[in-house]
Amino acid sequence: MRLITIALGALLLPVAAAHAQATSPPPAVVPANVQGVLERLRARALASNNAYEIVESLTTEVGPRLAGSPGEARARDWAVAMLRAQGFENVRVETFDIPYWRATRQTAEITAPAPQPLAIAALGGSASTPAGGTEAEVIRFASVSELEAAPAASIAGRIVFVDERMTATADGAGYGAAVRKRGACPRVARERRAAACLIRSVGTDSHRFPHQGASGAIAQGAGVPAAALSNPDADQLARLLSRGRVRLRLQIETETQNRVQSGNVIGEIRGRDRPDEIVLLGAHLDSWDAGTGAIDDGAGVAIVAAAARLIRDLPRRPRRTIRLVLFGAEETGVFGGADYARRHANELPKHVVASESDFGAGRIWRYRTRFGAGDEGYAARFFAALAPLEVFVTDAQPASGGADIGAMREAGVPVFDLTQNGLDYFDYHHTADDTLDKIDPAALRQNVAAWATIAYLAAETDWNLRSAEAR
């Protein structure tokens, strides 16, 4: 929270001043009746438990939903029923094929000098070890760059261990650097003929929960056996290695298929006079399978569905269409976002704005946009509408929109970010500890209020958030 206070003082005033100077687009005025609706939406969001009930239902009745698994298929059925029960129109599933990977066994043990088990999670796309496992000497690298610089002869036949740590930040800024090792370790290990790859988990906790995650090899077929150690197990291995040679046995068994079905589940509130113009709210339906995918991303599913539901319950529907997209197979390669952008390519110029809620369930503290040049006035209006929810921070960094929005963003769709407080997000992310109890219902309600605010404002106004040339 300290970071937020500092950022507020440092950023709010200069940004507000910059916004006031922007002049080119038509004035972004919020009419009094729209302002009144925003206030009602906010009050109802802060008094409703709908989002919590949605994520409770998903995590309890479906549970883990690995991309392409029967769990993910049940999640699609659940989502169709949920979206219909919430009163959305045009509820449908758009299916696509993905490669499938699942670990059926994942164990590791130090065999010498101090035999003991270690807590690991196989990385998505990991190869299976030979029957009986792979046993070899471990070689430790403090960072990915140290591994990349290592001569092949020092690595061949050994188990490579990348011991890079991740730092906790409110906006998840440590994730990009930490996640690089998930892709790099198996790749370098394969290229230099290592026996296997182990990484310190991409996570900020001190519990014995290893963090799952894609290694980038799922679509490429068999690589090397690759796994993440929990943070305390990585500490233990590092301490032993500082004393001398360590041998380790890894057993990973996996199940793979070249093509299985995944899909995006879609529902809408059709606009009353510009139904072909779309405000897209996204989240992803799939999860890793150690936990029940509560913060990643059951919370996001619940936030966007509950926000849209509040708008649906208004006496008059908004002018533009609000489209909910619950993406499939995000975790294993952002397949749902790619399929949506491909399938709806002709419609993308009519997408007014898009974003995905996919950073847990903490309170939103920051707002960013990537609108067209000259649209600072609109950005400022959205930001001002969030102030009663204590979203006080913005800056000039462009929004990403979220992983599944990436392909749309590349195609020119304006995007925004409502950044949640993620200080503890990577304590639970992709672990067995990602469960419903980690969600604070009050923080979830604040999220719903913020998403309803942005969605309604974007759908009720005629603001064009693209750059002037694209209008």
Binding residues vs Zn ion (CB under 5 A): 296-297, 358
CB of 358 to Zn ion, least distance (A): 4
DSSP 3-state assignment of 82?
helix
CB of 284 to Zn ion, least distance (A): 6
Q: Which residue among 330, 331, 376, 460 is the active-site one? A: 330
HSE (side-chain half, CA atoms, 13 Å) at 272: 11
Q: Which is nearer to Zn ion, 279 or 403 (CB)?
A: 403
Q: How far apart are the first and last CA of the chain?
A: 40
CB of 67 to Zn ion, least distance (A): 11
Neighbours of 202 (CB within 10 A): 25
330 catalytically annotated: yes
CB of 143 to Zn ion, least distance (A): 25
Neighbours of 435 (CB within 10 A): 17
Closest CA to 122 of 194, 190, 201, 184: 201
Closest CA to 46 of 328, 373, 375, 363: 363
Give the integer Cα–Cα distance in Å for 288 and 47: 31
CB-based contact 4:365 (threshold 8 Å): yes
Which tokens belong to 452?
Answer: 């309803």
CB of 256 to Zn ion, least distance (A): 22
Give the integer Cα–Cα distance in Å for 215 and 127: 11
How far is C-alpha 318 from the geometric centre of its chain's CA atoms? 28
Q: Which is nearer to Zn ion, 339 or 358 (CB)?
A: 358
Q: What is the DSSP string of 45-65?
A: HHH--HHHHHHHHIIIII---
Q: Which residues are catalytic?
A: 330
